[in-house]
Amino acid sequence: MRTPASPQSDSTIHGARLVVNLRAIAANYRKIAALAAPAKTAAAIKADAYGLGLAPVARCLAKAGCEIFFVAHYAEGVALRAVLPGARIYILHGLPDDMADRYIAKRLQPVLNSLAEITTWRKADGQLSGAILNFDTGISRLGMSENEAAKLVAEPGLLAGVRVDFVMSHLSCADEPEHPMNTQQLAAFNILRDLFPGIPASLANTAGIFLGPTYRYDLVRPGIGLYGGSPDGTGNSPFQGAVTLYAKILQLRDIDSKDYVGYGATYRPGGPARIAVAGIGYADGYMRALGNSGFGAIGGHKAPCVGRISMDLCAFDVSSVPDELCGPGGEIELIGPNVPVENVAADAGTINYEILTRLGGRFARSYIGEGADA
Angle at Cα 125 formed by Cα 123 and Cα 131, nearest 5°?
110
Q: Find the part of the chain contacting its own copies (CB under 8 A) among 56-64, 150-158, 209-217, 280-288.
A: 280-288
- Active-site annotation holder among 29, 40, 46, 282: 46
Active site residue 46: yes
Question: Going by C-beta distance under 8 Å and a sequence separation of 6 or more, which residues neighbour residue 123?
Answer: 100
155/176 with CB nearer its own copies: 176
Cα-to-chain-centroid distance, residue 369 = 19
| Residue 325 engages its own copies in binding (rule: CB under 8 A) | no
Calpha distance 102→270 (Å, rounded):
62
SS3 state at 131: strand
CB atoms closer than 10 angstroms to residue 354: 15
CA distance 28 to 31: 5
Q: Pick from 199, 250, 325, 372 the residue near its own copies by CB under 8 A.
A: 250
106 belongs to the catalytic site: no
| Min CB(357)–its own copies separation in Å | 4
Comparing C-alpha atoms, which of 317, 306, 301, 298 is closest to residue 347?
Answer: 306
Stretch that binds its own copies, among 30-38, 60-68, 276-284, 296-304 (CB under 8 A): 276-284
When binding is defined by CB under 8 A, the residue of 37, 235, 329, 374 that contacts its own copies is 329
Helix axes 146-154, 180-194, angle to 10 degrees: 10
Instruction: State the pairing for strand pair 16-21/219-220.
Output: unpaired
Q: How far is CA 144 from the centre of its chain?
A: 25
x-marked contacts with its own copies along 6-25 as a string, rule CB under 8 A: ------xxxx----------
Contacts with its own copies in 69-128 (CB under 8 A)?
Answer: 72-76, 78, 92-94, 96-99, 102, 113-114, 116
Provide the minimum distance between the beta carbon of 127 and its own copies in the complex, in angstroms, as a whole number: 25
| Residue 190 beta carbon to its own copies: minimum distance, rounded to whole angstroms | 19
Nearer to its own copies, 190 or 350 (CB): 350
**Torsional sign, CA 333, 334, 337, 343:** positive
- Indicate whether 138 belongs to the interface with its own copies (CB under 8 A): yes
**Can you say whether the dihedral through the CA atoms of 51, 56, 59, 61 is positive or negative?**
negative
Nearer to its own copies, 262 or 371 (CB): 262
| Between 259 and 337, CB nearer to its own copies | 259
- The reply on whether position 164 binds its own copies by CB under 8 A is no
The answer to whether 320 and 265 are in contact (CB under 8 A) is no
CA-wise closest residue to 373 among 23, 13, 67: 23
Q: Which is nearer to its own copies, 83 or 351 (CB)?
A: 351
| Chosen residue from 212, 253, 257, 272 binding its own copies by CB under 8 A | 253
Among 124, 139, 164, 199, binds its own copies (CB under 8 A): 139
Residues 189-228, one symbol each (x = binds its own copies by CB under 8 A, - = not), give ----------------------------------------
Instruction: Write out the catalytic residue numbers.
Output: 46, 263
